[in-house]
Structure 1
């Protein structure tokens, strides 16, 4: 790479989804630069070049924005876990709201999308009830670096809840063959569960001198190494069983806010039938079921289905279909009044979305963790006869580019 490509001045103009900002190269191509802010002038080095755009590494901020601050973490800029520590929290919220609107306009084709202000997290730091680490070849805990699979060892992290930050530095791990990731989750009573995710069928020896449940997850299944294979999580006073393999929202306070929002926008009564697709362990179903006539869950994860059955056991008006949404929905003989969908980051499979439109619920609530796939699916739903009524972003992930969004669509 020549000297000109190694040392380029770029005027940064706007944030984009993924934690970067966009600028223009002298030849007119777009360039994406991490750790920058709109209005800044940055000196960059190109690390990837395509015909229409390039990606760059930040070398120096020549003219900083007024919103720029010093990052809290010593690993910021090397570890890939955070993307916005270089700006204040109010600016982070503005960036996320702007990104959601941009995705709905560009990908969704929505003119003036009805995006509300981002609901802030009560805590901008130490908010995560779950943390996922990778392991270096010599057994050190770390995160993958920005844009790479290289594991960066860490000595501090300001995202986990304080109790988790007391636990993970005590973990002493030998280099273990096959261990791909470890997950540490905190329950309602500060009990903790460690999951070792491995491609190796054989479980390692495990012992700690403090209270900690632990499981080994491999293609052979789940093996309990210590304690229990689940935790109890509490949302709005209601207790949920969450197994080691099951997904649960990582920001407890914001999960409560999302449940309250959904209950607030839905017109629930004892005559309604609600379809809860990608229902997980029953986070939304548990609060919807007592207010309606019939609640139908659809979930692929076997562990989440087992948890759902426990968490919704008290209700006689709940049904659960186990399988992929794209396989269950086309054969579902039901006329739901409301559909709540909470798909993974990839959004809804086309077959599932088409089947949902065919079922013709009057109201759809779409819970999304990726504004790009949300915008794609909103475009399809609008083409299927729905109108986008409102979009409310929730910041479950301060200091990162991730944002949760709840969209309300009606016929």
Structure 2
């Protein structure tokens, strides 16, 4: 049997000549959704466990970013948590994309809140912050409108395990929209001309985007689309291949409702939407305020936003990085929405925000650690938190979205 064949069928490295196991009592959940554990004198992370469980774990030692890393994957449950359930996906464990399928969904929400609390406890200004319970997603499965697949072994579509780095072929992903899974069934074993593939679908439309363009004559569907369309909060949006769009449409619409109701808008406010993307917040809130100024560094996203604007006449888009362009706004800012990527705001952005001193700030984040870092800087300069509302945009994973409302 060739080495590629061995690797192809051995995502969890069961064919390794030597394996290491340990009996471990699992500690608290980490920011990456694993459990803490102590192996000898080392603090390590264990995939597939729940705090308090006693498990037998397979230990994996490897190099990552030029550092030695020790991780584990649960092999056997000795003392199970009352919150443990049977994962629905046949690929769970071999595929590490869904970290929490084995955890009762209500307890997933509690763990996500704990991750936020832990991040906030790092900073004195945030220690006593009241955090609302996480709002559940109506869909626990089939909610994602965007999939990024790896392609290996002569056209197999699947994912790579983040611990073993081994590939697993996947014929169906339970958190993906049904249209994505149908697309995978049509393309499986036919896409050897690429090493990765992205599939994006309109949940409320029949539109689909598949990248890259595929030339195999056995493929019976169109590929290489430049954009797809989606109906969001009563508007039709166009999303080009490079543009970001929320992966859980129903929860994203709920975010708009939460922001709108929390701000008590009078209709005369000047709202600045930083890191605006294709304009989901800017366009959705435009009818409730006097003026919207949106800042976005992606020209593709601004082009998409212009498609969705239609007859809305109180929106202005500015092309550029928020840290560079926010200072150019001469209007008094009533409301500033900050919705940065996972890495949070650039330090220069926080500095300009403090100079501009908007009356209210809405910070939307998918990373509690960088959120806490940025909030701490704003709180130390006179802002106060009035409302913290997490939402579950990503069921079966450790990821969580957080909306924070601040004022002076």
Instruction: Note the alpha carbon deviations across 1:294-329, whole angstroms, 9 max, x for none.
Output: 100000111110011121242222111101111112
Which residue does 2:354 correspond to in 1? 357
1:347 paired to 2:357:
no
SS at match of 2:197: strand
Instruction: Note the alpha carbon deviations across 1:193-224, whole angstroms, 9 max, x for none.
Output: 2122xxxxxx65256765x5532xxxxxxxx5
Which residue does 2:257 correspond to in 1? 260
Match of 1:175 among 164, 180, 192: 192
Shift of 1:160: 1.1
CA distance change for structure 1 residues 299 and 213 in 2, over 3 Å: closer, same or farther? farther
Which residue does 1:219 correspond to in 2? none
Which residue does 1:31 correspond to in 2? 44
Check whether the contact 1:247–1:281 (CA below 8 A) recurs between aligned residues.
Answer: yes
SS at match of 1:170: helix
Which residue does 1:285 correspond to in 2? 282
Which residue does 2:7 correspond to in 1? none
1:2-17 to structure 2, matched below 5 A, reads 6-17=20-31
1:276 paired to 2:273:
yes
Check whether the contact 2:199–2:208 (CA below 8 A) recurs between aligned residues.
Answer: no
1:277-316 to structure 2, matched below 5 A, reads 277-316=274-313
1:214 paired to 2:226:
no
Which residue does 1:111 correspond to in 2? 127
Shift of 1:190: 2.3
1:40 paired to 2:71:
no
Q: Distance in 2 between matches of 1:204 and 1:36?
A: 40
Instruction: Note the alpha carbon deviations across 1:128-178, whole angstroms, 9 max, x for none.
Output: 12222111142110112123554321122101122222222111434225x
SS at match of 1:13: coil
Check whether the contact 2:275–2:340 (CA below 8 A) recurs between aligned residues.
Answer: yes
1:374 paired to 2:396:
no
1:74 paired to 2:90:
yes
1:21 paired to 2:35:
yes
- After superposition, the CA RMSD in angstroms is 2.4
1:248 paired to 2:264:
no
Q: Distance in 2 between matches of 1:247 and 1:103?
A: 26
1:63-212 to structure 2, matched below 5 A, reads 63-106=79-122, 109-147=125-163, 149-172=165-188, 173-176=190-193, 179-196=195-212, 204-205=214-215
- The runs of 5 or more residues in structure 2 that have no matched partner are 1-18
Q: Distance in 1 between matches of 2:214 and 2:282?
A: 37
Shift of 1:107: 5.1
Which residue does 1:218 correspond to in 2? none
Shift of 1:10: 1.7
Check whether the contact 1:341–1:367 (CA below 8 A) recurs between aligned residues.
Answer: yes
* TM-score normalised according to structure 1 size: 0.87
Q: Distance in 1 between matches of 2:407 and 2:172?
A: 46
Check whether the contact 1:30–1:53 (CA below 8 A) recurs between aligned residues.
Answer: no
* TM-score normalised according to structure 2 size: 0.88
Q: Distance in 2 between matches of 1:341 and 1:16?
A: 25
Shift of 1:49: 9.1
Check whether the contact 1:185–1:192 (CA below 8 A) recurs between aligned residues.
Answer: yes
Which residue does 1:200 correspond to in 2? none
Q: Distance in 1 between matches of 2:266 and 2:275?
A: 22
Check whether the contact 2:171–2:181 (CA below 8 A) recurs between aligned residues.
Answer: no
Q: Distance in 2 between matches of 1:53 and 1:247?
A: 32
Shift of 1:6: 3.0
* Deviating more after overlay: 295-304 vs 329-338: 329-338
Check whether the contact 1:108–1:377 (CA below 8 A) recurs between aligned residues.
Answer: no
CA distance change for structure 1 residues 187 and 44 in 2, over 3 Å: closer, same or farther? closer
